Chain A
Amino acid sequence: MNILEIDQLSLSFGGVKALEDVSLRVPKDTITTIIGPNGAGKTSLFNCISGFYKPQQGRITYQGKPLDGLRPPKRAGLGLARTFQNIALFRGMTVLDNIKLGAHVHMKTGLLGSLVYFGRARREEMAVREEVERRIIDFLEIDHIRRQPVANLPYGLQKRVELARALAMKPEVLMLDEPVAGMNREEKEDMARFILDIREEWGITILMVEHDMGMVMDISDHIAVLNFGKVIAEGDPGTVQKNPDVIKAYLGNSDIESLRRKLNPNREAA
């Protein structure tokens, strides 16, 4: 079953076609990855799914229902969570408050309740705190930094906090925009492990954009390749890797042998 289906989506800014007839399925309980060269439209596609961009054509179906016309907060309420390519945490807040914000849609306290902080309002806050501590902070191993302001944290940890915030939304589909970009090897391995665990233990479907081919091929169940706004290949990692169009899009030439020859001297020099 497909939890998310994208049908013939087209998006253009003026004359620039960011997405052209993009169709894509995200099967439930899989790790689906979108790859493609810079400017291929991967993040634009994410923004269409989140509701920031309004595609001129096509439709996005989530759990069998069309998402047309829903504002981003509504989509969040339906269980679509997301992280950003360039970390979008609230820098003035502590790690704990950032994560709690993820639970915002599942909380009900109104303005008056907030002002008196008594009875139901307090119970709800405590329930959220407990759940965040037990399920998320423990799981992502960030208990030592929970009181720190996000702005002081190293990059890898900030990425992890952003993931924690998305998990607090209790999503059905988690969209990760370049989760390991700019990380060192150890941080990448941690993140890959978290992503696999999230799928296994939480039953969350993952839709990911990533450039790190090693990781993509290792953990993905399903891969779609975008180039110049079009899907040029789709399938499991083995199939996509062998697809000549994909090789051409990435390396600019389908003659692999000649490319190898070109690349080899560089490698020796390095």
Chain B
Amino acid sequence: MRIGDAKQTYVADEAIWTTSTQKFWFSILLLGLLIFPLLANSYLLYLGCLVGIAVISTTGLNILTGFTGLISLGQAGFMGVGAYTVAWLSTNTGLPFPITLLLAGLMAAAVGFLVGLPSLRVKGLYLAIATLAASVFLHFIFAEWESVTGGMEGLSLEPAHLFGVTFRSDFAMYFLIVPLAVLAVLAARNLFRTRIGRAFIAIRDRDISAEILGIPLLRYKLMSFALSSFYAGVAGGLFAYFYRVVTPESFPLTMSIFYLAAVIVGGMGNLLGGILGAAFMTLVPEALKLLTAALTPFFPNAPVFMSPMLEIIFGALIVGFLIFEPHGLAEIWRRVRRFFHLWPFRS
């Protein structure tokens, strides 16, 4: 049972980790993330990178949809903007990755800002449709603006580099992606203990009250769109460095839905939920494929039977979560923590 965590100062009271237990487990997590690539095979390393990218993008969408209450179907489009920015810059200017990634984020933020403009007038599903339109429009630009985007063939690029170090292998990319993902989540965590983050939540919960408290709705909604798109842009930039080829088909509409599902399955308005959701959405389809492979020795026609089933099982899992765990994976995590906090008593 957790007791004796009284605080002497407000700084200590508002820290992210308030107990030494939390600090200990977070250190273990960081250590685990550090050791993982040394032990993992190339397939697990590849998955680790994918989850890292998904975590950054999902956290961004969580800021917008989960915390500010603005539904967006434009996340894949914003990631595309980031990816194309990185591809174009690294091919045409040879800038190192910290600068290209930053510019990718800023470019996506600028596009997100524009897409967010209707959000003062339209909410809910209508905003989803407006962002959907923007996403289709961006896809059109990726495919048709051939002089910059290379049309349907897309762009290929050199690996990320800095000070003579080249991030060519998945092993190297892991050490680029995962620290950025950790940083992205920590920054978001900071955001929600300061005035701007609170203003976002206020707009989600009751926008009229927010205005009465002196929060200009349009400015904060646009800020949320821009920040969310910045995250998407950086994630897209990492995506470009990871695959080293960017085509319009890299960022289909289903990808936007993928991220929205990650936010919902993980738990809207919960940063941990975003992480869990991103991992769930990335890993479960892979796990189902592995299951198929494992079944093949016993049922020779398992692939024939299972491959069309995968999508159905995956969909059913999501629906199941919505029904039985409407607050998302984060809620399960909260219950587990509660159990250990109260142990040996029961709630």
Contacts and interface: CB of A to CB of B under 8 A. Distances in A.
Given A90-B205, A90-B206, A129 B14 contact: yes
A93 interface: yes
A117 interface: yes
Nearest to A81: B212
Contacts of B197: 114
A89 interface: yes
A100 B198 contact: yes
A181 interface: no
For chain A, the bracket of interface size reads 35 or more
A240 B198 CA distance: 44
Given A73-B211, A126-B10, A126-B14, A101 B199 contact: yes
B8 interface: no
B196 A109 contact: yes
A113 B196 CA distance: 10
B223 to A, nearest CB: 6
Contacts of B205: 90-93
A121 B14 contact: no
A165 B213 contact: yes
A169 interface: yes
B214 A130 contact: no
Contacts of A97: 198, 201
B269 interface: yes
Interface string A192-227: 000000000000000000000000000000000000
B157 interface: no
B187 interface: yes
B214 A114 contact: no
Contacts of A105: 213-214
27 contacts: A52-B208, A71-B216, A72-B212, A73-B213, A76-B213, A82-B212, A84-B209, A88-B209, A88-B212, A90-B201, A90-B202, A91-B206, A92-B204, A97-B198, A101-B195, A101-B198, A101-B213, A104-B198, A104-B214, A105-B213, A110-B196, A114-B190, A114-B195, A115-B191, A117-B190, A117-B193, A129-B14
Given A104-B215, A109-B194, A129-B13, 10 more contacts: A88-B212, A90-B201, A90-B206, A90-B209, A93-B202, A102-B213, A104-B195, A113-B194, A114-B194, A126-B14
